[in-house]
A = this chain, B = another copy of it.
Amino acid sequence: MKEITQNFQVQFSYKVIFTNKLFDISNSTFVNYFDNQEQAAKNFIIIDKGMYAHHPDLIDSIEKYFFFNKEKIQLLGKPLIIEGGEAAKNNPSYLEDILKATDELSIDRHSYITAIGGGALLDLVGFAAAIAHRGIRHIRIPTTVLAQNDSGVGVKNGINAFGKKNYLGAFVPPVAVFNDDHFLKTLNDRDWRAGISEAVKVALIKDELFFREIQRDAEKLSSRDSDCMKSLIFRCAQLHMEHIAGNDPFEMGSSRPLDFGHWAAHKIEQLSQYELRHGEAVAIGIALDVTYSYLKGNIAKETYEKITALLKNLGFKLYHHTLSVINQQGELTIIKGLQEFQEHLGGKLTIMLLEKIGKGIEVHEMDYELIKKSVKSLESLYTPV
């Protein structure tokens, strides 16, 4: 039997750069990125409508910034404003709008599609950039805590389809990420807080010291202390990126330990019709899996209490009525989330639980009765008043 074996590696590299007021004329961080280009780098900019409402001068600043630096960077057309939040990922017409714009602007593969906004908008734009011309360079400027410390600094993009989160998407890293903390100031309290849950998550499974730092800073974080938030975002982004680089970045295998607390989170987000923010759902998902780990006998009562107390101190609600929704077979609907999680990932069911603070452990089955008990426990302790 004749055969030809193909074998190659592809190298991916990008930086996450922390800055303040990226499009101030005096800030050269953005334009310096394009230092080695032969011609002015073409940028097509897409802006999150929700964020834009708080930054009405943004387009003006961007235009001035590009004009001031016109030898190195060039705007392609007018910035496009698109609905942010989960709507960006649920409505397929936004994807079409972006693709149509790339065609009309004659964007080529060496141009840049730059997205400014929350994680959902970045996911949408990243997907469009991944598939137009088989890949246009994509720059991310995340404007929420969650996007700056997690979703915006990684290698995934996607949109929702068939009622399933991220059903369509790709693994394609951005070419650069600019984390501008100026955008955090105008976040409402929910969006400020929501992203902190991803930091708790990664601390719990990777870094006990970081967990203790979050404990120490919980009150300040909750009362919107900028410096504490900057450190939290930096360390959280770093842990996520280290994990990605060290562990199957394009998820070809079965393991996906960064998704601690996420199997239930995705499902209740969807059941709440995205009234819950992703980060809020993750906090509940963590509370559920921590309760489960405790009831299962994997972690001590003290550990379980420490974690739920931290989430409470950070201002998270730890129960949502969608956890208790029952399907026609009389089962908890969130259990379906386990199956969807497995389908999305493929292979054996693999769920990350806790061994102790700072160390996760993978399991391949979950006890449905114990999930029910965990939900009941959260309901009795944490039903919002």
Chain A interfacial positions (CB closer than 8 Å to B): 1-19, 29, 38, 99-100, 103, 106-111, 127, 130-136, 153, 156, 158, 161-162, 164, 166-171, 173, 234, 237-238, 241, 244-245, 249-251, 254, 342-348
Contacts and interface: CB of A to CB of B under 8 A. Distances in A.
Contacts of A100: 162
Given A3-B15, A6-B16, A134 B244 contact: no
B170 A108 contact: no
A252 to B, nearest CB: 8
A275 to B, nearest CB: 24
B251 A107 contact: no
Contact of A250 (B3, B10, B348): B10
A108 to B, nearest CB: 4
A14 B7 CA distance: 7
Given A127-B131, A131-B170, A132-B168, 20 more contacts: A1-B18, A1-B19, A4-B237, A5-B14, A5-B15, A6-B14, A6-B241, A10-B250, A38-B348, A103-B161, A109-B251, A109-B344, A109-B345, A110-B254, A110-B346, A130-B170, A132-B167, A133-B346, A134-B170, A135-B251
A347 B3 contact: no
A20 to B, nearest CB: 10
B12 A10 contact: yes
Contacts of A254: 110
Contact of A106 (B134, B166, B343): B343
B13 A10 contact: no
Contacts of A237: 4
A108 B16 contact: no
Contacts of A7: 11-13, 245
A314 to B, nearest CB: 24
Contact of A166 (B19, B134, B158, B245): B134
Contacts of A166: 134
A237 B2 CA distance: 12
A17 B5 CA distance: 9
Contacts of A107: 343
A4 B29 contact: no
A251 B41 CA distance: 18
Given A170-B170, A346-B109, A17 B29 contact: no
6 contacts: A2-B234, A6-B241, A8-B249, A38-B348, A132-B167, A132-B168
B3 A135 contact: no
Given A133-B346, A171-B135, A16 B29 contact: no
Contacts of A111: 346
A133 to B, nearest CB: 5
Q: From A9, A13, A127, name the one whose CB has the most chain B CB atoms within 10 angstroms.
A: A9
| Most B CB within 10 A of own CB, among A4, A14, A15, A344 | A4
A249 B131 contact: no
